[in-house]
Amino acid sequence: QVQLVESGGGLVQAGGSLRLSCAASGRTFSSYAVGWFRQAPGKEREFVAAISWSGGGDIYYRDSVKGRFTISRDNAKNTVYLQMNSLKPEDTAVYYCAAAEVVYVPVLEPHYDYWGQGTRVTVSS
């Protein structure tokens, strides 16, 4: 079992930045791929970014956040980060992190086994 807790959400003006954290406890976190997803009001949850267990070159982003968001991980701290810059109102959502004990980098929700409770991000115009 892996427990995930997100933090770092909040209210920010358009153009601002936030850094989300996903802290893990339980089993060895370093063997898990981790993804960030988000769900805007009235919309389906969508993929945002994901990183392999090693944090090497296997990183994926949805097109709309490329160049603005950066996912990274510190396995020594059992934490994955999502640095979000140049935020836009359309980035407003509840952001969730998820973990999967796989060697590839999942971008689809069913491939993830563990989910956090989410952290809310609101970007004002």
Exposed e or buried b for every residue in 24-44, given b needs 16+ CB within 10 A?
A: beeeebeebbbbbbbeeeeee
Give 8-44 pLDDT, tens digit per residue.
999 999 999 999 999 998 777 788 999 999 999 999 9
Helices (H), 34-78: none
Look at residue 115 and tell me whether its pLDDT is greater than 80. Answer: yes
pLDDT at residue 123, rounded to an integer: 98
pLDDT tens-digit profile of 82-96? 999 999 999 999 999
Residue 7's SS3 state is: strand
- pLDDT tens column, 41-73: 999 999 999 999 877 779 999 999 999 999 999
Is the CB of residue 86 less than 8 Å from the CB of residue 68? yes
